[in-house]
Chain A
Amino acid sequence: KAGVTQTPRYLIKTRGQQVTLSCSPISGHRSVSWYQQTPGQGLQFLFEYFSETQRNKGNFPGRFSGRQFSNSRSEMNVSTLELGDSALYLCASSLEPGLAREQFFGPGTRLTVL
Chain B
Amino acid sequence: QQQVKQSPQSLIVQKGGISIINCAYENTAFDYFPWYQQFPGKGPALLIAIRPDVSEKKEGRFTISFNKSAKQFSLHIMDSQPGDSATYFCAASTRTGGSYIPTFGRGTSLIVHP
Interface residues of A (CB under 8 A from B): 4, 31, 42-45, 48, 50, 55-56, 58, 90, 92, 97-98, 100-101, 103-108
A48 lies within 8 A of B107 (CB): no
- Per a CB cutoff under 8 Å, which of A42, A100, A105 touches B45? A105
The dominant DSSP class at the B interface is strand
B89 lies within 8 A of A97 (CB): no
- Which chain A residues border B98 with CB–CB below 8 Å? 55, 97-98
B46 to chain A, nearest CB (A): 6
**What is the count of residue pairs linking A and B with beta-carbon distances less than 8 angstroms?**
60
- Per a CB cutoff under 8 Å, which of A43, A92, A105 touches B104? A43
B107 lies within 8 A of A45 (CB): no
A100 lies within 8 A of B102 (CB): yes
- Which chain B residues border A104 with CB–CB below 8 Å? 45
Nearest-CB residue, chain B, relative to A102: B46
Number of interface residues of B (CB under 8 A): 25
- Give A55 to B46 CA distance when docked, in angstroms: 22
- Which chain B residues border A48 with CB–CB below 8 Å? 99, 101
- Give A24 to B100 CA distance when docked, in angstroms: 20
- Give A108 to B42 CA distance when docked, in angstroms: 7
A47 to chain B, nearest CB (A): 10
B96 lies within 8 A of A107 (CB): no
